[in-house]
């Protein structure tokens, strides 16, 4: 009977095996995607896909704008020629010439300002748009989903704007998921490292001393508590006290508990978290001011802070040189700087999420203990 | 251990000394007042104003210097052109144009440099600066909301340093303020929602109806209490096999059977009852469940609750002693009956108020998230159950007096206030699934509507295209903040108009971000539940689904 059923089942599974396998595979795939490794790949893939989308959408618009700029420049050169021609015919002197040139330049300046506002970046070549290169688009996608939003490049076409909105709606939760996921892992591993290395959890002597201290403290509190309660409601206490009774009667018990306490319960001090954040920003600043030519250390740390706090002004952007005139030739190196910045951002935001994670716990713990102390003091003052 | 220990002395403290508790109470009152909505908002406003003055003082001089620099650039180009014209021997248009183009290109580049590096805004008039008072105020808001348009950015190194520290202080403050406002808005919105879809449509509260019923404030408050009880359900072990639609459950059933029962025990004075109570205390909760008649249904995810039940059981056992102690002191209704010869004094109401203040403070002191070995949730449940006991309810096991008579006057309001705050704390608890009654679509609709309305507003005010305006609203509210479109940038630099425009934008974004916070607040539990279910059906491991919860929390 049993065998028959199993055989039948096997046949059934064989029939549906393909579908099931497919389903199972899909399920596993999705599970993998949302696992810790998968989420990194997912975010990276999403960003890359976004950079391709924006490259194709936004690439054309730039060319039109540049043509316009070139046309304008030619027109103004023609006007200059007219002025010079008049000067040559002795119609006007130097003063007049300078005044008219100034007038013309003023007009031209207005036009340039206008073009810059519309997204002119100073490069001249019509064939490729330097802003929406792959690296630029990658950085753009990343700044969208992290809500940094430098704004050094932004979509100009309506399609690009709509695509940005849709991209952000999907991408931001994804990135938050990444942050919480990675932050959690990092927090856990950091706690482990901290507990193992800094607090000497593995060293039995330290643990024993700590356990003893704990017992002493608890006993003291217990005694106070008993003296308090006895006056109030005798029957209630006599009933409710036994389960409350001192838990750690012996040192060894406490010791085992001390050793058994989860590493995850170890609070990491706030100062350590702050030091990590400051250290990360400073090291990033050092790297950036090495990498970028014009940046001072001050500028670089300002940039790091503004980026990691997701404010993202965009007044300083890595790879500024890419818009530098006539330097497109370094393009490969500059792409590297974009990639480097992206990695720095992704890692740094996860790190900051971790630090906030740890700090939150610690602060709550601190508040709790402070309140307890205040109560304790107040009770003694009575 | 520590928490349990802490809760008991409090009672002793209360009974023996009132000065300590009152002191604590008042100190907490001051602290909570400090962090109350009004204070927070005024703090944020004053912080912004402070930032406005600081940044104006720091940056204005530099900006004026940059503006005066533009003139020099033009002069330089003119001089070059003059020389060039003089230097040319043969006048040929083609040749001349080629040279002139180069000069123009050079001019262009220096202008671009000024704009990008030194933050020149394209205006030459030294009186028209970006770092006016309003501009700096806008900048401060943009910094602490982390939008960061970047249309104005500090260019002096002092400005940069101050910005960093300003942001370090300001961003948490702003977050606190926004979450606070969002919380208040969520509460009021929920309240409004339930008022709008009245008691008559209890059967299907998801549907919006016209405001048909006029409820007194008091009643709706008691409604809130019942809602709270309802929201607690997921933590309790599953009791009844029958399942009804959730809407029925929401108001009619008491989801705290064990609590109700314990109350029932407490309500009687005779010592035999007391003994029996203790016996049930020591018995495992599974048994308690058997004692309880099957409750009418829960529409909640059965699996989820079954999953959470084992977590709860030890804590149930743990907390019971305190629970009773708490009840003896804390309950209003059961106060006189419980402790004969103790409670009935002329100063009874005062007593009750005091007693209530104790758990309230405690609630504040102990954010529930910290994973203490005993689980702080039991304490929280205490407080909650206390609240429940305080709250009148429709189907109380014993014939209870009218709710309004039971509640001391002037008591409901603080109670409600703290309810709000408890909500805020509850929001911290990631893993605990609760269901908010406000549907997701309504929140999404609200946010989308807000963006579209804002787009219309900016379209008329700034003269943008509709798509541009909607894009601007989205980019702003998500705090991406590219800065390609900024209010008062394109409009004529008429001062008053720019000021109004900036004020409008600030108000829009402050309100909008708190609206977003509100809808997150309202939606998150429901979304978490749904995502969890999906994750479970996909066979994703549990930890992952927890992470997704975190995601939604954010």
In tens, the pLDDT along B349-368 reads 444 444 444 444 344 444 44
pLDDT in the model for residue A353: 87
**Cα B144 to Cα A83: distance, rounded to the nearest angstrom:** 52
pLDDT in the model for residue A5: 58
C-beta of residue B115 within 8 angstroms of C-beta of residue B107: no
The more confident residue out of A160 and B440 is A160
Q: Which residues of A touch B82 (CB under 8 A)?
A: 94, 97-98, 101
- Enclosing domain of residue B79: 39-182
Q: What is the pLDDT of residues B324-335, one digit of tens each?
A: 333 333 333 333
A235 contacts chain B (CB < 8 A): yes
Per-residue pLDDT averaged across B295-304, rounded?
A: 40
**Cα A165 to Cα B540: distance, rounded to the nearest angstrom:** 29
If asked whether residues B239 and B381 sit together in one domain, one would say yes
**Cα B48 to Cα B484: distance, rounded to the nearest angstrom:** 23
Instruction: Give the angle A297-A299-A305 at the CA atoms, nearest 5°.
Output: 100
Q: Determine, for residues A313 and B6 on separate chains, whether the beta-carbon distance falls below 8 Å.
A: no
DSSP code string of A330-345: GHHHHHHHHHHHHHHH
The more confident residue out of A341 and B309 is A341
Residue in chain A nearest B89 by alpha carbon: A88
**Cα A72 to Cα A243: distance, rounded to the nearest angstrom:** 88
pLDDT in the model for residue B400: 36
pLDDT band at A340 (very low <50, low <70, confident <90, very high): confident
Q: Which residues of A touch B540 (CB under 8 A)?
A: 27, 30-31, 34
Computed on alpha carbons and rounded to an integer, the radius of gyration of chain A in Å comes to 33
If asked whether residues B274 and B385 sit together in one domain, one would say yes
Q: Which residues of B touch A378 (CB under 8 A)?
A: 13, 20, 23-24
Q: Hey, what long-range contacts does A196-203 have (CB within 8 A, 24 or more apart)? A: A196/A263, A199/A266, A201/A259, A201/A263, A201/A266
Q: What is the pLDDT of residues B495-516, one digit of tens each?
A: 777 788 888 888 898 889 888 8
Q: Is the pLDDT of residue A42 over 70?
A: yes
The more confident residue out of B543 and A39 is A39
Q: Is the pLDDT of residue B451 over 90?
A: yes
If asked whether residues B50 and B117 sit together in one domain, one would say yes
If asked whether residues B84 and B172 sit together in one domain, one would say yes
C-beta of residue A302 within 8 angstroms of C-beta of residue A316: yes
Q: Is the pLDDT of residue A204 over 80?
A: no
C-beta of residue A178 within 8 angstroms of C-beta of residue A204: no
Write the DSSP symbol of residue A246.
Answer: -
C-beta of residue B433 within 8 angstroms of C-beta of residue B529: yes
Comparing CB atoms, the residue among A31, A158, A232 nearest residue B540 is A31
Summary mean pLDDT of chain B? 63
Query: Do the domain assignments include residue B52?
Result: yes
**Cα B498 to Cα B490: distance, rounded to the nearest angstrom:** 10
Query: Do the domain assignments include residue B26?
Result: no
Query: Do the domain assignments include residue B406?
Result: yes
pLDDT in the model for residue B346: 42
User: Which of A154-168, A349-363, B310-324 has the least mean pLDDT?
Assistant: B310-324
Residue in chain A nearest B4 by alpha carbon: A244
Our CA-based measurement puts residue B511 at a distance from the nearest CA of chain A, in whole angstroms, of 19
Per-residue pLDDT averaged across B422-436, rounded?
A: 41
User: Which of A253-257, B82-86, B200-204 has the least mean pLDDT?
Assistant: B200-204
The more confident residue out of A252 and A89 is A89
Residue in chain A nearest B170 by alpha carbon: A309
**Cα B389 to Cα B381: distance, rounded to the nearest angstrom:** 12
If asked whether residues B353 and B233 sit together in one domain, one would say yes
If asked whether residues B210 and B329 sit together in one domain, one would say yes
Which range, B7-11, B15-19, B437-441, is most confident? B437-441
Q: Is the pLDDT of residue B230 over 90?
A: no
If asked whether residues B169 and B225 sit together in one domain, one would say no
Summary mean pLDDT of chain A? 77
Comparing CB atoms, the residue among B81, B540, B547 nearest residue A181 is B547
Residue in chain B nearest A378 by alpha carbon: B20
pLDDT band at A219 (very low <50, low <70, confident <90, very high): confident
Full 3-state SS string of A138-187 = HHHHHHHHCCCCCCCCCCCCHHHHHHHHHHHHHHHHHHHHHHHHHHHHHH
On the 0-12 / 13-18 / 19+ scale of CB atoms within 10 A, A71 is exposed
Tell me which residue of B317, B113, B188 sits closest to A120, measured CA to CA.
B113
Comparing CB atoms, the residue among B104, B274, B481 nearest residue A77 is B104
**Cα B180 to Cα B203: distance, rounded to the nearest angstrom:** 32
DSSP code string of B135-147: HHHHHHHHHHTT-
Q: Determine, for residues A240 and B481 on separate chains, whether the beta-carbon distance falls below 8 Å.
A: no
**Cα B402 to Cα B397: distance, rounded to the nearest angstrom:** 14
The more confident residue out of A169 and B550 is A169
Query: Do the domain assignments include residue B9?
Result: no
Write the DSSP symbol of residue A195.
Answer: I
Q: Determine, for residues A147 and B554 on separate chains, whether the beta-carbon distance falls below 8 Å.
A: no
| Class at the top of the CATH hierarchy for domain A270-381 | mainly alpha
Q: What is the pLDDT of residues A273-302, one digit of tens each?
A: 899 999 999 999 998 888 877 788 998 999
A192 contacts chain B (CB < 8 A): no
Instruction: Give the angle B16-B413-B424 at the CA atoms, nearest 5°.
Output: 90
Which CATH number do you get for residue B95? 1.10.287.70
Q: HSE of B52 in the Cβ direction (CA atoms, 13 Å)?
A: 14
Tokens 């829009």 belong to residue = B508
Per-residue pLDDT averaged across B269-295, rounded?
A: 42
Query: Do the domain assignments include residue B3?
Result: no
**Could you give the C-alpha distances from A181 to A116, A288, B218, B532, B549, in angstroms and in order?**
40, 27, 44, 16, 10
Comparing CB atoms, the residue among B6, B85, B109 nearest residue A87 is B85
Residue in chain B nearest A155 by alpha carbon: B484
A162 contacts chain B (CB < 8 A): yes
A37 contacts chain B (CB < 8 A): no
What is the per-residue burial (b if ≥16 Cβ within 10 Å, else e) of B98-122? ebbbebbbebbebbbebbbebbbbb
pLDDT in the model for residue B240: 38
Q: How many folded domains does chain B comprise? A: 3
Query: Do the domain assignments include residue B396?
Result: yes
- Identify the helix (H) or strand (E) that includes residue B380: helix B377-390
A318 contacts chain B (CB < 8 A): no
Q: Which residues of B touch A302 (CB under 8 A)?
A: 160-161, 163-164
Boundary of a domain, candidates B397, B426, B455: B426
Give the count of Cβ contacts less than 8 A between chain A and B.
281
Tell me which residue of A357, A370, A373 sits closest to A272, measured CA to CA.
A357
Using CA atoms of B294, B295, B300, B305 in order, give the dihedral in degrees to the nearest 10.
-50
Q: Is the pLDDT of residue B483 over 50?
A: yes
Q: Determine, for residues B122 and A117 on separate chains, whether the beta-carbon distance falls below 8 Å.
A: yes
Q: Determine, for residues B93 and A81 on separate chains, whether the beta-carbon distance falls below 8 Å.
A: yes
Enumerate residues 327 to 346 of chain A having a beta carbon within 8 A of any beta carbon in chain B: none
Query: Do the domain assignments include residue B433?
Result: no
Q: Determine, for residues B9 and A229 on separate chains, whether the beta-carbon distance falls below 8 Å.
A: yes
A113 contacts chain B (CB < 8 A): yes
Residue in chain B nearest A221 by alpha carbon: B5
**Cα A303 to Cα B164: distance, rounded to the nearest angstrom:** 10
Tokens 């033009």 belong to residue = B74
Q: Is the pLDDT of residue A231 over 80?
A: no
Query: Residue B83 is encoded by which pair of tokens?
Result: 């020389």
**Cα B35 to Cα B179: distance, rounded to the nearest angstrom:** 12
If asked whether residues B390 and B271 sit together in one domain, one would say yes
- In chain A, the percentage of residues whose pLDDT exceeds 90 is 13
If asked whether residues B311 and B278 sit together in one domain, one would say yes
B534: left (phi over 0), alpha (psi -120 to 50) or beta: alpha
Computed on alpha carbons and rounded to an integer, the radius of gyration of chain B in Å comes to 31
Candidates B104, B120, B271, B280: best to mutate against A (most CBs of A within 10 A) is B104
Q: Which residues of A touch B91 (CB under 8 A)?
A: 84-85, 88
Q: Determine, for residues B150 and A240 on separate chains, whether the beta-carbon distance falls below 8 Å.
A: no
pLDDT in the model for residue A331: 61
**Cα A374 to Cα A219: distance, rounded to the nearest angstrom:** 19
Tokens 């609630």 belong to residue = B363
**Cα B451 to Cα B473: distance, rounded to the nearest angstrom:** 6
Enumerate residues 67 to 96 of chain A having a beta carbon within 8 A of any beta carbon in chain B: 73-74, 76-78, 80-81, 84-85, 87-88, 94
Comparing CB atoms, the residue among B122, B146, B366 nearest residue A310 is B146
Per-residue pLDDT averaged across B67-73, rounded?
A: 85
If asked whether residues B415 and B385 sit together in one domain, one would say yes
Q: What is the pLDDT of residues B138-183, one digit of tens each?
A: 899 999 998 888 888 898 889 999 999 999 999 989 988 888 888 8
Our CA-based measurement puts residue A229 at a distance from the nearest CA of chain B, in whole angstroms, of 6
If asked whether residues B345 and B410 sit together in one domain, one would say yes
Tell me which residue of B291, B128, B115, B172 sits closest to A117, measured CA to CA.
B115
pLDDT in the model for residue B520: 81
Q: Is the pLDDT of residue B292 over 50?
A: no
**Could you give the C-alpha distances from A140 to A136, A255, B382, in angstroms and in order?**
6, 54, 50
Per-residue pLDDT averaged across B522-529, rounded?
A: 79
Query: Residue B221 is encoded by which pair of tokens?
Result: 């408050």
If asked whether residues B74 and B123 sit together in one domain, one would say yes
Our CA-based measurement puts residue B80 at a distance from the nearest CA of chain A, in whole angstroms, of 11
Boundary of a domain, candidates B130, B148, B182: B182
**Cα B356 to Cα B379: distance, rounded to the nearest angstrom:** 15
* Helix, strand or coil, per DSSP, at residue B509: helix
Comparing CB atoms, the residue among A101, A122, A229 nearest residue B81 is A101
Q: Determine, for residues A180 and B554 on separate chains, whether the beta-carbon distance falls below 8 Å.
A: yes
pLDDT in the model for residue A199: 64
Query: Do the domain assignments include residue B395?
Result: yes
Q: Determine, for residues A232 and B112 on separate chains, whether the beta-carbon distance falls below 8 Å.
A: no
**Could you give the C-alpha distances from B475 to A53, B204, B464, in angstroms and in order?**
19, 37, 15
Q: Which residues of A touch B20 (CB under 8 A)?
A: 378-379, 381-382
C-beta of residue B111 within 8 angstroms of C-beta of residue A120: no
A60 contacts chain B (CB < 8 A): no
Q: Determine, for residues A74 and B161 on separate chains, whether the beta-carbon distance falls below 8 Å.
A: no
């Amino acid at each position: 009977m049993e065998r028959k059923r199993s055989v039948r089942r096997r046949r059934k599974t064989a029939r549906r095996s393909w579908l099931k396998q497919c389903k199972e595979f899909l399920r596993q795939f999705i599970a993998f995607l949302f696992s810790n490794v998968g989420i990194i790949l997912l975010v990276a893939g999403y960003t890359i896909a976004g950079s391709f989308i924006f490259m194709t959408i936004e690439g054309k618009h730039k060319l039109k704008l540049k043509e316009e700029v070139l046309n304008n420049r030619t027109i103004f050169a023609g006007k200059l020629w007219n002025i010079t021609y008049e000067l040559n015919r002795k119609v006007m002197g130097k003063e007049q010439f300078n005044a008219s040139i100034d007038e013309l330049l003023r007009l031209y300046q207005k036009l340039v300002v206008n073009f810059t506002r519309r997204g002119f970046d100073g490069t001249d070549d019509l064939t490729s748009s330097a802003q929406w290169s792959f690296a630029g688009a990658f950085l753009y996608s990343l700044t969208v989903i992290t809500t940094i939003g430098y704004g050094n490049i932004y979509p100009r076409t309506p399609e690009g704007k709509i695509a940005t909105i849709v991209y952000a709606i999907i991408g931001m939760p994804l990135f938050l998921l990444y942050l919480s996921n990675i932050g959690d892992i990092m927090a856990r591993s950091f706690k482990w490292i901290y507990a193992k290395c800094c607090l000497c959890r593995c060293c039995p002597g330290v643990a024993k001393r700590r356990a003893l201290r704990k017992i002493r403290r608890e006993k003291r509190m217990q005694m106070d508590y008993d003296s308090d309660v006895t006056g109030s409601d005798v029957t209630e206490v006599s009933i409710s006290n036994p389960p409350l009774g001192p838990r750690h009667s012996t040192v060894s018990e406490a010791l085992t508990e001390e050793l058994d306490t989860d590493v995850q319960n170890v609070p990491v001090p706030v100062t350590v978290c702050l030091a990590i954040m400051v250290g990360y920003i400073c090291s990033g600043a050092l790297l950036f001011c090495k990498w970028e030519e014009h940046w001072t250390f001050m500028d670089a740390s300002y940039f790091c802070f503004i980026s990691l706090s997701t404010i993202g002004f965009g007044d300083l952007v890595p790879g500024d040189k890419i818009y530098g005139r006539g330097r497109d030739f370094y393009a490969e190196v500059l792409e590297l700087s974009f990639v480097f910045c992206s990695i720095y951002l992704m890692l740094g935001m996860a790190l900051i999420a971790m630090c906030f994670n740890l700090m939150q716990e610690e602060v709550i713990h601190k508040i709790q203990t402070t309140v307890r102390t205040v109560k304790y003091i107040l009770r003694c003052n009575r | 251990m520590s928490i349990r220990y802490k809760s008991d002395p409090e009672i002793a403290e209360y009974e023996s000394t009132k000065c300590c508790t009152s002191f604590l109470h008042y100190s907490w009152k001051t602290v909570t007042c400090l962090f109350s909505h009004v204070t927070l908002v005024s703090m944020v406003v004053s912080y912004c104003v402070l930032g406005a003055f600081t940044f104006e003082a720091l940056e204005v001089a530099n900006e004026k210097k940059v503006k005066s620099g533009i003139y020099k650039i033009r002069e330089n180009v003119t001089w070059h052109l003059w020389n060039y014209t003089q230097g040319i021997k043969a006048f040929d248009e083609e040749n001349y144009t080629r040279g002139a183009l180069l000069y123009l290109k050079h001019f262009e580049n220096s202008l671009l440099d000024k704009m990008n590096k030194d933050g020149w805004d394209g205006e030459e008039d030294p009186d028209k600066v970006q770092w006016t008072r309003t501009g700096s105020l806008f900048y401060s808001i943009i910094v602490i909301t982390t939008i960061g348009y970047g249309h104005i950015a500090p260019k002096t190194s002092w400005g940069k340093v101050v910005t960093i520290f300003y942001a370090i202080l300001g961003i948490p403050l702003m977050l606190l303020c926004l979450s606070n406002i969002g919380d208040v808005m969520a509460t009021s919105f929920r309240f409004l929602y339930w008022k709008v879809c009245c008691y008559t449509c209890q059967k299907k509260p998801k549907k919006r109806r016209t405001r048909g019923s006029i409820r007194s404030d008091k009643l709706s408050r008691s409604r809130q209490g019942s809602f709270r009880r309802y929201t607690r359900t997921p933590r309790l072990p599953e009791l009844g096999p029958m399942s009804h639609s959730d809407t029925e459950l929401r108001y009619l059933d008491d989801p705290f059977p064990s609590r109700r029962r314990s109350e029932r025990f407490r309500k009687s004075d005779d010592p035999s009852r007391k003994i029996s109570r203790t016996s049930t205390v020591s018995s495992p909760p599974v048994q308690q469940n058997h004692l309880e008649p099957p409750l009418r249904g829960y529409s909640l995810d059965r699996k989820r609750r079954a999953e959470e039940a084992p977590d709860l059981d030890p804590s149930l056992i743990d907390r019971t002693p305190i629970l009773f102690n708490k009840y003896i002191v804390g309950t209003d209704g059961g106060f006189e009956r419980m402790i004969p010869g103790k409670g009935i004094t002329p100063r009874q109401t005062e007593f009750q108020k005091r007693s209530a203040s104790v758990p309230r403070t405690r609630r504040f002191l102990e954010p529930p998230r910290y994973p203490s070995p005993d689980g702080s949730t039991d304490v929280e449940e205490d407080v909650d159950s206390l609240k429940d006991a305080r709250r009148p309810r429709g189907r109380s096991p014993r014939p209870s007096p009218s709710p309004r008579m039971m509640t001391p006057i002037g008591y409901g309001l603080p109670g409600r206030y703290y309810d709000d705050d408890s909500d805020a704390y509850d929001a911290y608890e990631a893993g605990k699934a609760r269901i908010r009654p406000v549907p997701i679509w309504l929140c999404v609709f609200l946010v989308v509507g807000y963006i579209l309305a804002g787009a219309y507003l900016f379209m008329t005010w700034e003269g943008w295209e509709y798509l541009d305006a909607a894009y601007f609203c989205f980019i702003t509210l998500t705090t991406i903040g590219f800065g390609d479109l900024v209010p008062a940038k394109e409009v004529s630099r008429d001062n008053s108009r720019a000021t109004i425009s900036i004020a409008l934008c600030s108000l829009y974004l402050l309100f909008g971000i708190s609206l977003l916070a509100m809808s997150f607040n309202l939606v998150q539990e429901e979304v978490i539940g749904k995502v969890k279910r999906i994750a479970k059906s996909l066979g994703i491991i549990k930890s992952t689904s927890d992470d997704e919860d975190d995601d939604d929390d954010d």
